[in-house]
Structure 1
């Protein structure tokens, strides 16, 4: 079975990412990531851009595509035109398969008018907008901005934009499922639901309620074409994450969730 990791980070040499990679049983470099992809038949991955909007900062190995990340501070009146011009330069590339927004980390709702030109670009280039939802890393962000319900209004206002709810809004799983099920133009990736390296039998016993709740609300959507495998690598161990995802998704939908949905939504051509 072919796999696409629809949500990962690629920041070799960054001490923070080096540390979390070790905790997950990995090494934060290209060689190790390539080895993991070959081992688990992962044919490609989509990097959530943490390198600003300048195209020169987005050079990746041939087995990766990327979403260009747009921070709210780049959308002030004096910066917005330059930001949009650079975002557009990224979107013209085949390797750039979407845009990434960071509500929660940025104190701004996805319905803020400052995002309107970004949504216009997404519509024009027919590329998805991936949005951080759910819990944030660290205690300085404001999670009211990243609640999955905030995506509902943006989706209704922009029916011609494909949205991706990153992290399935975790831990607001019921609300996340409601938004994905209701809106034809909202999909979700299943990244960031677990982190680190762990003993699977022990984890399944200790977190049986969490796993059961995840399965319940993923099934509630009744459309596995809207769900994509993702890890948030290097936060998660690939072997563990693949195994847990298989336990969350009925086997007849594995090919859809692990590969087909990401190929259809991101047009990544892996």
Structure 2
């Protein structure tokens, strides 16, 4: 089975990422990542940028592409300069989209500062990936990360593709409703686990949650709009493949693990 990992973080120099990788049974190096991808049949991955657009210009090896991140350090830029910097990224063939962190930046998805970026994304036919759902740590604010906030932007910018990262978890119902309503909204299934787990025990102890997750993933034919992603280094890659394969009906594996990400990110 061919796989595209539609959501990883690879930002050398961030110590917390190195520690997470080790806890999940990995090393936080390009060599290790490439070896694991080769072993597991992962053809490409999309790196979600974690720096400001004026410094987030990675040199990606051929198996990695990236979304330019608006994580921190960009609010001080005026609107024109921000658009110029983001466009410089979007012109690069290895940049496949834009990544927003509204819950951490305390800014709604419909904020006017994002509007020129949505127009650029449509112009370059590259999606806008958005952190939706629970935030890590106490500084994130959930009201900005709720998947329902994406509905307004998706309706106002119908030519722009939007990705609900983490499927809006735990607001699964709302994420599914936004996807079903808006043809231009997709979701990735990253970040639903952390570290290494005992898979059988996990499913036994969380039977109710996984039943709900399956229900809303498949809502209104939703599997065709879902993409495999991990949020690596948060999880163990081999375990996460087995985890998603267990959740998604086998008839949808090609779509979820490969085809939809290839289409959405134009890989």
TM range (shorter): over 0.9
Partner of 2:82: 83
What's the secondary structure of 1:215's corresponding residue? helix
Q: Where in structure 2 are the equivalents of 1:1-270 lying within 5 Å?
A: 1-54=1-54, 57-71=57-71, 74-75=74-75, 79-268=78-267
Change (3 A) 1:72 1:49: closer
8 A contact 2:52–2:72 mirrored in 1: no
- Counterpart Cα distance in 2 of 1:43 and 1:55: 27
CA deviation map 1:53-82 (0-9, x unaligned): 136732122110000012476245x52211
Q: Distance in 1 between matches of 2:107 and 2:146?
A: 12
1:14 Cα deviation after fit: 2.0
Number of residue pairs matched?
267
Runs of 4+ in structure 1 over 6 Å off: none
Task: Kindly indicate whether the alpha-carbon contact (under 8 Å) linking 1:66 and 1:96 is maintained by their aligned counterparts in 2.
Answer: yes
Maintained 8 Å contact 2:69/2:98: yes
Once superposed, what is the RMSD of the aligned Cα atoms? 1.4
SS at match of 1:111: coil
**CA separation of 1:64/1:116 partners in 2, compared to 1, >3 Å: closer, same or farther?**
same
Give the deviation of 1:120 after TM superposition: 1.3
Q: Give the secondary-structure state (helix, strand or coil) at the position aligned to 1:159.
A: coil
Closer, same or farther: CA 267–220 of 1 in aligned 2, 3 Å:
same
Q: TM-score, normalised by structure 2?
A: 0.96
Determine if contact 2:162/2:184 at 8 Å carries over to the other structure. Answer: yes
CA contact (8 A) 1:103 1:131 kept: yes
> How far 1:209 moved relative to its partner?
1.4
> For the residues of structure 2 that align with 1:141 and 1:110, how far apart are their CA atoms?
14
Contact 1:12 1:30 in 2 (8 A): no
Cα deviation digits, residues 128-173 of structure 1 (max 9, x gap): 0000100011111111100001011111111111000100000111
- CA shift, 1:221, in A, is 3.5
Maintained 8 Å contact 2:119/2:157:
no
For structure 2, the 5+ residue unaligned runs are: none
Tell me how far apart the structure 2 counterparts of residues 197 and 107 of structure 1 sit (CA, whole Å). 31
